[in-house]
Every structure is written in C-alpha cells, then in structure tokens.
Amino acid sequence: MKEAVAHLPMSSEQKRRITDVVESEGSRLRSFIRSRVPDVLDAEDILQDVFYELVEANRLLVPIEHITGWLFQVARNRITDLFRRRDPERFSDVEPVDGEELLLEDLLAAADEGPDAQYTRSALLAELEQALAGLPEAQREVFLAHEVEGRSFSEMAAESGVSLNTLLSRKRYAVLALRKNLQHLIKEDEV
C-alpha cells in the first residue's frame, strides 16, 4: 500500500497521514473483512480497494470526518459488491424438490429494495444462521465449504483425508436438514 501512495501526486504530509491510518487501522479492517469474506484473496483485494479509496479521497481533498467509520463503510460496500457480482449460490447439488432447484438468492430479497426487503433479508439470514447452527459440525463444515466458499469435494477430501463419498453424504444430509428446517419460509413466501 505504501508503494501506491508514493506514486500519486500528494504532499509528504498527506502521505504520512495515509500511512498512519493504514498502520493504525489496517489489522482491524483486515479482521473485519476476513470475518465476512471466506476467500483470503478476495479479502485482501477488498482491503486494498478500501485503502485505494482512501488515497483517492485524500488526493482529491474529499473531507472525511470520521476516518474509521468511513473505512469500515467502504469495506462493507466492497463486500456487498463482491457478493452481488457472484453467480447465485446453489443451495444444493441434491435432487431438486418438486423439480425446481432452490437457490439461496430466491429466499433473500435484494438489499436495495427498501426497508421492508432489508428487514425480510435480515430475518431470513437469521433463520438460515440458526438452521446452520443446528446442523452437526461435520455437515455444517462441508456445506459451508462447498456452498459458501466454493470449494470442491475433491479439494476438501485431499485436505481433510475424509473420503469423497463421506463428504458428499454429509453435504446431502445437511441440505436435507436445511430444506426441512427452512421449508416454512418457502411456504410463507408463496402465500
């Protein structure tokens, strides 16, 4: 990051202020991003984007009253952008119920659809978190690794030493349990 600061036309005072902010807030901001973004490379990209925005704002003399709050808000926005760019997450590789594949995106209203949609989205995410917490640990780990982190079963098998069929079975049982525990949400949405 210090190299990026050096290439922009700024005074030594501006460079020093940015360097101080990077050093004081960098580790907290990195931890914040990593707690929300499973992929290390994506998290580092977001962190760099946030600091780039800081450099640009400073170079353009944009007034920032609360630098820490501003940094974390930019980080939240970049995290949201990352997840919006991705294809809809598959909720299951198991045979669809009633011939229709259930996508996680189908359950969640877009965050920009207003206060009601945001409330509904947060309530659904809370239900999902509760349903995930109710899974046995081995099933939850496989489900999250495959569905959220996008890891392949062969990759997980190689790393963990657990057979491919066992991982597939754990994922299947996790999906079945989640479908059962979240079915009331789908039925309520159809009414």
pTM of the full structure: 0.42
Of the two residues 117 and 88, the one the predictor is more confident about is 117
Total length of the chain: 191
| pLDDT of 191 over the 60 cut | no
Mean model confidence pLDDT for the chain: 76
Residue 108 · residue 124 · CB < 8 Å = yes
Range of weakest confidence among 94-98, 165-169, 184-188? 94-98
SS3 134: coil
| pLDDT of 96 over the 50 cut | no
Burial code (b: 16+ CB inside 10 Å, e: under 16) for 141-178 equals bbbebbbeeebebeebbeeeeeeeeebbebbbbbbebb
CATH 2.30.30.700 fits 104-190, yes or no: no
Which segments of the chain belong to CATH 1.10.10.10? 104-190
| pLDDT of 101 over the 50 cut | no
pLDDT, residue 139, reads: 92
Query: Residue 58, CB half-sphere, CA atoms under 13 Å: how many?
Result: 26
CATH 1.10.1740 fits 2-85, yes or no: yes
pLDDT, residue 6, reads: 42
Kindly list the distances between the CA atom of residue 107 and the CA atoms of 62, 76, 97, 161, 179, in Å, as whole numbers in the listed order. 39, 22, 15, 34, 12
Structure tokens belonging to residue 31: 């931890």
**Residue 36 contacts by C-beta under 8 Å, 6 or more apart in sequence?**
79
What is the distance between the alpha carbons of residues 177 and 19, in angstroms, rounded to a whole number? 49
Q: pLDDT band at 16, cuts 50/70/90?
A: confident
Angle between helices 153-160 and 164-190 (to 10 degrees): 130
Give 100's strand partners: 97
Structure tokens belonging to residue 175: 């999906």
Q: What is the mean pLDDT of residues 111-133?
A: 74
pLDDT, residue 60, reads: 76
Of the two residues 2 and 59, the one the predictor is more confident about is 59
| pLDDT of 174 over the 50 cut | yes
Burial code (b: 16+ CB inside 10 Å, e: under 16) for 47-86 equals bebbbebbbebbeeeeeeeebeebbbebbeebbeebeeee
Q: What is the mean pLDDT of residues 20-49?
A: 86
| pLDDT of 116 over the 70 cut | no
Which segments of the chain belong to CATH 1.10.1740? 2-85
